[in-house]
Amino acid sequence: MLYPYFYHGLSSAAALFAIASASAKSPKAHPFLRAGDNAASAIAVADLPDGFLPPTDFEGIAEESGGGGSFVYVTYVKCIKPSSGTDGWVNDLIGVLTGVGFSLVGIAACAGTAGVGCAVVAVGASAGIDQLTKAAIKAGAPEALGIHFGGSEDDLYLSANGRKFSAEVEIGSQETKAMGAITWGLPKICLMEYDWGSGDDNMGCIETRKLGGIGHYGVVVASKEHGSVYEVELHIM
C-alpha cells in the first residue's frame, strides 16, 4: 500500500529507507534538516499540506516496514500555550501531572529538563487531538487547557533521542499541526523550540517506552522552565 506523502513509486518502507540514506549522506539535501543535523536513525516523512489527514492503516505500514521492531508515528501536535518563560498556571498543571498522577493508563514519566510534567490522559479513540483536551480536563487538568493564550508562536520540531525527525512548524495557542513524523524504536521524543539566537529549547519529552506498548496515545506535556503546554497524539506499532 502506498501513501501520498512517501516518495512516488516506492513502497513506504523503501521510501523511508531512501529518505534516511539521503539524509545521512547529505543533511543539506533533506527538506527537514539543517546542516549538522543527523538523520541516521530518526526519519522524517514529507511535509503534509494543510488539511491533509495522515493514514490510519498503521498495521499496513508496520507490515511494509518488515515488522522488525517498534516504531512511533506522531500524527498531530496541539499547542495549548507557547513558550514564554515561567507561568503560575503551568506550574499548577505540572503539579497535577507529576503529583496527582491523573491519567487513564498511568503516568508516563517525562525525562529531559527539570520541571517538566507529562501524563497520558487518553488512549484509543479518546486519544485524538480533538478529544484530548476534554479528556484531560475530565481527568483533572485545569480548564485553562481550553482557552487561548497570547504570545508569539513557537518554531516547533520533534527530536528522538536528540536527533531531529520532523519538520519545523510555526504554532500558536490552540493551533493543531499535522506532523506526520515517524521514528524507529521507542525513543525519548522531545518537543523542541528552535532558537535563532542560542541553543534550542527543550519543552519536555515523552519516554515512549513507558507509555504501555502498542496503541494510540494522547499525551499532555508542560514545561515549568519555558511556560509551555502541548498535547501530542501518537501511535506505537
- Segment 68-91 shows an average pLDDT of 87
Number of folded domains that form the chain? 2
User: How far apart (Å, rounded) are the C-alpha atoms in residues 14 and 25?
Assistant: 17
Burial track 144-164 (b if 16+ CB lie within 10 A, e otherwise): ebeeebeeeebbbbbbbeebb
* pTM score over 0.75: no
From residue 175, give the alpha-carbon distance in Å to each of 19, 93, 153, 170. Answer: 28, 19, 10, 9
Same structural domain, 93 and 79: yes
From residue 35, give the alpha-carbon distance in Å to each of 23, 124, 164. Answer: 10, 38, 12
Residue 6 within any structural domain of the chain: no
Which band of pLDDT confidence, cut at 50, 70 and 90, is reported for residue 106? low
Residue 4 within any structural domain of the chain: no
CB 154 within 8 Å of CB 170: yes
Q: Is the pLDDT of residue 110 over 80?
A: no
Residue 78 within any structural domain of the chain: yes
The end-to-end CA distance of the chain, in Å, is 17
Which band of pLDDT confidence, cut at 50, 70 and 90, is reported for residue 99? low
Same structural domain, 32 and 44: yes
pLDDT of residue 206: 92
Same structural domain, 85 and 34: no
pLDDT tens string 113-156: 667 888 888 889 889 999 999 988 888 888 999 999 988 999 99
pLDDT tens string 199-232: 899 999 999 988 888 999 999 999 988 999 999 9
Q: Is the pLDDT of residue 58 over 70?
A: no
Strand blocks (E) in the chain = 42-44, 71-81, 116-123, 154-160, 163-164, 169-171, 175-184, 188-193, 201-207, 215-223, 228-236
Same structural domain, 81 and 45: no
Which residue range(s) make up the domain with 167? 73-236
Same structural domain, 120 and 91: yes
Same structural domain, 186 and 200: yes
The cell 512511533 sits on which residue?
72
Same structural domain, 65 and 17: yes
Residue 167 within any structural domain of the chain: yes
Same structural domain, 65 and 82: no
pLDDT tens string 2-40: 333 332 233 334 334 333 333 333 333 333 333 333 333
The torsion angles phi and psi of 108, rounded to 5 degrees, stand at -105, 105
Question: Which residue from 97, 72, 93 is spatially nearest to 81, judged by alpha carbons?
Answer: 93
Residue 5 within any structural domain of the chain: no
User: How far apart (Å, rounded) are the C-alpha atoms in residues 10 and 14?
Assistant: 6
Give the range among 47-51, 102-106, 195-199 with minimum mean pLDDT. Answer: 47-51
Same structural domain, 105 and 89: yes
pLDDT of residue 38: 36
Residue 176 within any structural domain of the chain: yes
Same structural domain, 56 and 121: no
Which band of pLDDT confidence, cut at 50, 70 and 90, is reported for residue 191? very high
Same structural domain, 229 and 165: yes
Residue 2 within any structural domain of the chain: no
Same structural domain, 64 and 176: no
Q: Is the pLDDT of residue 77 over 80?
A: yes
